[in-house]
Amino acid sequence: MEKFDFNLLEALQQWSIVHVPKLIIILFGMWLTIKVAGFIGKRIRAHVEDDDPTRQSEREKRAETLVTISNTIVKIVVIAFGVLMIVKELGIDIGPLLAGAGIMGLAIGFGSQALVKDVVTGFFILMENQFRVGDVIKAGNHSGLVEKITLRTTILRDLDGTVHVIPNGEVGTVSNMTYIWSRAVIDIGVSYREDIDRVMDLMIQVAKGMKDDPKWGVDILEEPTLL
C-alpha cells in the first residue's frame, strides 16, 4: 500500500491559507474595476442623453464612442495587470516573463506593422473626432452607419444590412455625411400627365409643414427648398 505524503498535504494547506485569499482578492479587484468602469460608462451615457430617443445628438455620439473605447482599454489593462499579479502570487518569477514578452512584442511589432498602423490610426480618429458611433460615412469602397469603433477596426452597416469590418489603417479618406448636420436630397418622380406647378406647390407645403411640426422641426435647420 502506497504511503501518502502528509508533509506535501500540510505544505499545500499552508500555501492555500496564505495565497488563496490573495488570489481571490486579485480576481475580485479585477472584476470590480471592470464593473465600475462599465457603471461609469453607463452614467456618462445617461448624463449626455437628451429627451428624444428617436435621434442621437453630437454629444451622444461622442460619448458612445469614447465610452466604448475606454471600457475596452480598461479591460485590457486590468486583465494584463491581474494576470501578472496572479503569476507572481503563484511564485513564478515574472522578470524573465516580462523580458520574454518584451522580445516577443518587439518581434511582433516588426512583423505586424499593419496592426500598429491600425491602432495608431484608430487613436487619431478618436482624438480628432473624425467620425463617431451613429454617423453615416463613406470610407473607401464602403459606406454605411458606424456601429462600432475600436482602436483597430471600424464597423459599418450599409443599407442592405451588410456589416463591413474595416481596419483603421485602411480607412483612408473619410466622407462624413452626418457631421454636425446632414442634407437630405430627395428625388420624386411625377407623371407626365400631372400639373408640375401644382405638384411643386404641394411638395413645398408638405416640406414646410414638417418644418413647423414640433416633432420634425427640431431636426430641420433651414427652410426646405425645391430645385
Q: Please report the pLDDT score of residue 1 as a whole number.
A: 46
* Angstrom distance (rounded) from CA 150 to CA 214: 37
Q: Please report the pLDDT score of residue 100 as a whole number.
A: 64
pLDDT digits (tens, 9 = 90+) for 196-209: 888 888 888 888 88
| CATH architecture group of domain 6-111 | Orthogonal Bundle (1.10)
Residues of the chain with CATH 1.10.287.1260: 6-111
State percent of the chain over pLDDT 90. 13
* Angstrom distance (rounded) from CA 220 to CA 159: 23
pLDDT grade, residue 33 (50/70/90)?
A: very high
Strand stretches in the chain, DSSP E: 136-139, 142-149, 153-157, 163-167, 174-176
Give Cα 86 distance to the centre of its chain: 29
Give 24's contacts (C-beta < 8 A, 6+ positions apart): none
| pLDDT of 6 above 70 | no
